Structure 1
């Protein structure tokens, strides 16, 4: 089993996450330009939380973000900041989006999963055979 390890003063870790959120009412407002802008905003914000963005992509009504984080990252605070900042910036920079989605840009919920560099079956087998 090979991990992309990161280190702290007393820790070694490999924490990768897959985040997905959708636009309010699943409105088709995410053009390539807007998705790229979301990626820029998220990258700017990530450093404040000790997060490294690996990839940002999505469709016309949702966005996927792959990122790595530290064990001390307050995940709820990071995600709420990410959604809030991107919402404010996109609605202010793209008036056509603000017309479509007046009060909020994202749905309140989201999907977040920790990812591994091996499948769960391989990991279960590894743990069982230790």
Structure 2
């Protein structure tokens, strides 16, 4: 019987609006579990999730029928509402517009998963801005600084 066979692995990277450090250690695991539930409910496979107080990395194994922009929109919209409902932030929590999406081969999964899981150590040496720009450069994505995230200096 003919079928569709695919291996699509995407790392998503997006930031808290204004790059504010709002994701706190005492509730970040709950946030990651909630986002895992969204991805799973949409029929996709979450392979790794982790981040910092101001941004998040998510590695997803995607089906070819999934529209990436719709999935990201649902993750952001639902998790914004969930953080607000839980009262985790003293101010309004919101993800910034835009995101990075980077594709990987199956053979690259272990290093990418390790990279995501070691975000805290990684950011002792490199800022989010440096990290994000290096991903764009590595993947040969042309960009202009004014169209990147709103960087707070």
With the shorter chain as reference, the TM-score category is 0.7 to 0.9
Q: Could you give the per-residue CA deviations for residues 71-108 of structure 1, whole angstroms, max 9, x where no partner exists?
A: 0012111110000000110122125x1x32x3x51101
Mapped partners of 2:100, 2:31: distance in 1: 17
Choose the corresponding residue for 2:95, options 83, 103, 106. Answer: 106
TM-score, normalised by the number of residues in structure 2 = 0.64
Q: Which has the higher strand share?
A: 1
Q: 1:63 corresponds to which residue?
A: 56
Q: 2:33 corresponds to which residue?
A: 40
Unaligned runs of 5+ in 2: 109-153
2:13 and 2:100 in contact (8 A); partners too:
yes
- 4+ residue segments displaced more than 3 Å: none
1:18 and 1:67 in contact (8 A); partners too:
yes
What's the CA shift for 1:34? Answer: 2.8
2:15 and 2:56 in contact (8 A); partners too:
yes
Choose the corresponding residue for 1:91, options 67, 77, 84. Answer: 84
Aligned length: 107
Q: 1:116 corresponds to which residue?
A: 105
2:20 and 2:54 in contact (8 A); partners too:
yes
What's the CA shift for 1:61? Answer: 0.3
The structure with the largest alpha-carbon Rg is 1
Q: 1:74 corresponds to which residue?
A: 67
Distance verdict in 2 for CA 1:33–1:66, change over 3 Å: farther
Q: Could you give the per-residue CA deviations for residues 26-61 of structure 1, whole angstroms, max 9, x where no partner exists?
A: 111112233212211112112332211111101110
Q: Do residues 14 (structure 1) and 44 (structure 2) align?
A: no
Q: 2:18 corresponds to which residue?
A: 25
